[in-house]
Amino acid sequence: MKRRRWNPATWVSLVPNGLGQVKPNHYWEIVRTVWENRDNLGKAWRILNEGVCDGCALGTTGLRDFTMKGVHLCTVRLNLLRLNTMPPLDVHRLHDVSTLHHLNGRALRALGRLPYPMIRRRGERGFRRIGWEEALHEIASYMRNTDPRRIAFYVTSRGITNETYYVAQKVARFLGTNNVDNAARLCHAPSTTAMKQTLGVAASTCSYRDWIGTDLLVFIGSDAPNNQPVTTKYLYYAKQHGTRIMVINPYREPGLERYWVPSVFESALFGTRLADRFFQIHTGGDIAFLNGTLKHLIERNWLDREFIEAHTRNFAEVQATLAQQSWAELEQASGATQAEMLAFAEALAQAKSAVFVWSMGITQHEYGVENVKAILNLALARGFIGREYCGVMPIRGHSGVQGGGEMGCTATTFPGGRPINTESARWLSEQWGFTVPDWKGLSCGEMLDAAAAGELDVFYAVGGNFLDTMPNPDYIRTALGRPRLRVHQDIVLTTQMLVDPAETVILLPAATRYEQRDGGTETTTEREIIFSPYISPPPAEARSEWEILLNVAERTQPERAHLIHFSDGQQIRREIARIVPEYEGIQHLQRAGDHVQWGGRILCRDGHFGTPDGRAVFTPLTPPTMSLPPNMFMLKTRRGKQFNSLIHSERDPLNGAHRDDVLMHPSDADRLGVREGDWVVLRSATGEMRARIKFADLKPGNVQVHWPEGNVLIDAHRRDPVAGVPAYKALVSIHPVKDTVMQETQ
């Protein structure tokens, strides 16, 4: 479709740049970033101009991407820049950790980069500086004297490169354990599981360029303008090409309703209306809504029968299951009406192409795998997989997570997605020259359970902060205090480092991706493997992430060190290409801008799926029961002005909510007898939280609070039974704070 010129029909307002609106101030963010990095502007510029973004997984290389022309820069990347340019912290601040307990994560980060290895033993007030040799000797001593089943490695997604993921999982297996996991577990493990079972592939089947020109772009449980703000430029151009955008979500997200794209003059001036229609459903009502949509498609024969018959199986079972689900049941479970489901079905029927995008609003449920399968059922029924401008996309919020699983940094798969079993372990043992364990390891949540139960002796965390990312912080604090040795390999201080040791805690200073020797690679949501070059040396004694892990393994088993050693990053990339066939070409990436997209623009092209028989698999699904007990609400956590758990502001510029606000529909507030701005107490079976009422266009009966603040209300053991991802939601009661003095104190 030919691109339109300026389109006043999409404008938000004639007021220039949305003055007076609740919206991000992108130009002020640029000024603030320059000021924050004024002591290291040269490095900051080289990172932006040459490096691969360490924010979300859209994958800009320098100031460009692979989807459209022009400068591509977002506030997430600007907010993260200071982590890469700030000077080392004064290690004297760590001599007494009691002086740090009152600081939150943002304040701890502001102290500066970790410059030297540090150690703290049981009973000591704080950390003292040690040399690398002493630190490695200490860790190796614990490793050698510990049953490998009682050792666990966790790798976050904070700018982590494919090289580091690959080395981390290889080191774990070299030391005899499959207890290794990464941050993708908390986000898209249900997507990986469902897509592998249904399509035979565990990654986005299309590319970002397919957004621009598709007839229909559907966001389900995703607030891309908040978590991946660069996408708003794609959405602007999609609208210019005639794409309709529809959103399925409990909350009418302001950022998806309208946005001012700063790098597009028309949008920066007048704003852009993005979503053509919202379908507001209950939290957890996705399966019922999507089942109802599919039921309409079947009853009206709005299906791609030819595609279904030629390229799929089990559709008859789905059809039979849906025939048994009444409209009354689907309406009650979804929170939407039969007419709304019909409207969405009609949009799909009228579209010749569609792309489905989802995120943690879909995956972070105890039935996250089934949620994803409901989306896949719908896409398959219309034949919207395997061709241009069509596909399914679990959009990644972090620059490292796509590669983490593909490098085998999980407890359930080896590199390349090979299942952990005797056959795969034997093959990998032959490739590596040492015995690889063939037993299923512990996932992230299971590691913490084992730690809490006293069944973990060594816990090695590369980045991350479980106190902020996992449900029920009190439980997590207990778990972190149980292993004999905790190792935190990171670039800055976090609150979990300050948890008192059972015996020993060691901090290891790491380099960022821009300081990684020989550069490194990232894999984006659309499967682009991009090379990010070395920019500058790390501060003080910090070392590249993969080198630290190698040092630990080589010191632990020096007699076998030659079996694990890599001399440089290029050697790692050559081995990745050999062990993970999809990554063929990574060994040739050496300069800024080098990239290769594994699988090409489209996966499952022409209906050829990666399943054993080459056919996609429909799954019969029964919606979960969604009835609320009297005077109870379904609470879900959400993101604000933050990146993962790194909070950048106390106020969300997209909706004006503060970190201690609870979003609620005005009708629910009336029922409770509270007004906007009133303080309330939210109580769940796990804990309680004080919050302030903020009105929002949210499905009545549902409320939202910020994450991680709301984690005190979440049950740490409520997880998807297949993928292991926590369900970041809870049934809560809400109680007004009547005491005037308490109101004023709050």
Distance CA 300, CA 291 (A): 14
pLDDT value, residue 159 = 87
What pairing do the DSSP bridges indicate for beta strands 702-706 and 661-664? antiparallel
Tokens encoding 480: 């972190």
- Nearest CA to 356 out of 290, 312, 413, 301 is that of 290
- Please report the pLDDT score of residue 744 as a whole number: 42
Residue spans of the chain under pLDDT 50: 1, 740-746
Tokens read off for 546: 């993969």
Residues forming beta bridges with residue 668, ordered by sequence position: none
Amino acid at the residue 178: N
- Name the phi and psi angles at 643, rounded to 5: -125, 115
Beta bridge partners of 488: 461, 507
Strand ranges in 281-337 using DSSP code E only, listed in sequence order = 312-313
Eight-state DSSP code of residue 260: -
Question: Six-digit token pair at 79?
Answer: 């907010």
Asked if residue 471 lies in contact with residue 714, where contact means CB atoms within 8 angstroms, the answer is: yes
**For residue range 84-123, what is the model confidence (pLDDT) as tens digits?**
999 999 999 999 999 999 999 999 999 999 999 999 999 9
Say if residues 205 and 529 touch (Cβ distance below 8 Å).
Answer: no
pLDDT of residue 740: 45
Q: Are 209 and 67 in contact (CB under 8 A)?
A: yes
Q: In this structure, what DSSP letter does residue 187 have?
A: T
Q: Phi and psi for 354 in degrees, rounded to 5?
A: -160, 150
Residue 733's DSSP bridge partners are 683
Chain mean position to CA 539: 28
- Amino acid (1-letter code) at residue 54: D
| Residue type (1 letter), 435 | T
List the one residue out of 291, 390, 355, 300 whose CA is nearest residue 607: 390
Q: Yes or no: say if 488 and 496 are a contact pair by the CB < 8 Å rule.
A: yes
Query: What is the reported pLDDT for 4?
Result: 61
What are the DSSP calls for 34-45, one per residue?
HHHTGGGHHHHH
Query: In sequence order, what are the residues at sequence separation of 6 or more whose Cβ sits closer than 8 angstroms to the Cβ of residue 28?
Result: none
Provide the H-helix boundaries in 633-679: 666-672
| Cα–Cα distance, 529 to 118 (Å, whole number) | 35
Cα gap 376→355, rounded to integer Å: 11
Write the single-letter amino acid at 718.
Answer: R
Query: In Å, what is the CA distance from 318 to each residue of 163, 308, 322, 606, 733?
Result: 42, 12, 6, 23, 37
Which string of DSSP letters, residue by residue, matches 333-374?
Answer: HHSS-HHHHHHHHHHHHH-S-EEEEE-HHHHSSTTHHHHHHH
User: Under 8 Å CB-to-CB from 136, ≥6 apart: which residues?
Assistant: 551, 552, 555
Helix and strand numbers (H, E) in the chain are: 27, 27
The interaxial angle of helices 368-381 and 189-199, nearest 10 deg, is: 40
Please name the amino acid found at residue 522.
Answer: E
Which segments of 400-508 does DSSP mark as H helices, in order? 401-406, 422-432, 444-452, 466-469, 473-480
Instruction: State whether residue 418 is helix, strand or coil.
Output: coil
Q: Please answer whether residues 443 and 128 qualify as being in contact, where contact means their C-beta atoms are separated by less than 8 angstroms.
A: no
Residue tagged 């040799």 (tokens): 133
- Please give the Cα distance from 273 to 209 (Å, whole number): 20
Residue pair 620/377 in contact by the 8 Å Cβ criterion: no
Q: Are 322 and 294 in contact (CB under 8 A)?
A: yes
d(CA 648, CA 272): 25
Which one-letter amino acid corresponds to residue 85? T
Q: What is the 3-state secondary structure (H, E, C) of 484-543?
A: CEEEEEECECCHHHHCCCCCEEEEEEECCHHHCCCCEEEECCCCEEEEECCCCCCCCCCE
CA torsion sign, 184 to 190 to 193 to 194? negative
pLDDT of residue 741: 39
Question: Residue 5: its pLDDT value, please?
Answer: 79
Q: Which residues of 100-133 are buried (b: 16+ CB within 10 A; e: fewer)?
A: beebebeebbebbbbbbbbbbeeebebbebbebe
Q: What is the pLDDT of residue 226?
A: 87
Give the single-character DSSP code of 196: H
Q: Which pLDDT score, from 0 to 100, does residue 742 have?
A: 46
Which residues 6+ apart lie within 8 Å of 496 measured at CB? 461, 464, 465, 466, 467, 468, 476, 480, 488
**In angstroms, rounded to a whole number, what is the distance separating the alpha carbons of residues 596 and 599?**
9
Residues 6+ away with beta carbon under 8 Å from 567:
none
Q: Answer for the pair 364, 717: CB distance below 8 angstroms, yes or no.
A: no
d(CA 499, CA 101): 9
pLDDT of residue 74: 86
φ, ψ of residue 688 to 5 degrees: the values are: -140, 160
In whole angstroms, how far apart are CA 84 and each of 333, 399, 610, 647? 46, 15, 40, 16
- Tell me the angle at which helices 286-299 and 338-350 cross, rounded to the nearest 10 degrees: 60
Distance CA 129, CA 88 (A): 14
Q: Under a CB-based contact definition with an 8 Å cutoff, are residues 467 and 493 in contact?
A: no
Query: Which pLDDT does position 400 carry in this prediction?
Result: 82
pTM of the predicted model, to two decimals?
0.96
Question: What does the block give as tokens for 247?
Answer: 């959103």
Name residue 680's beta-bridge partners: 691, 736
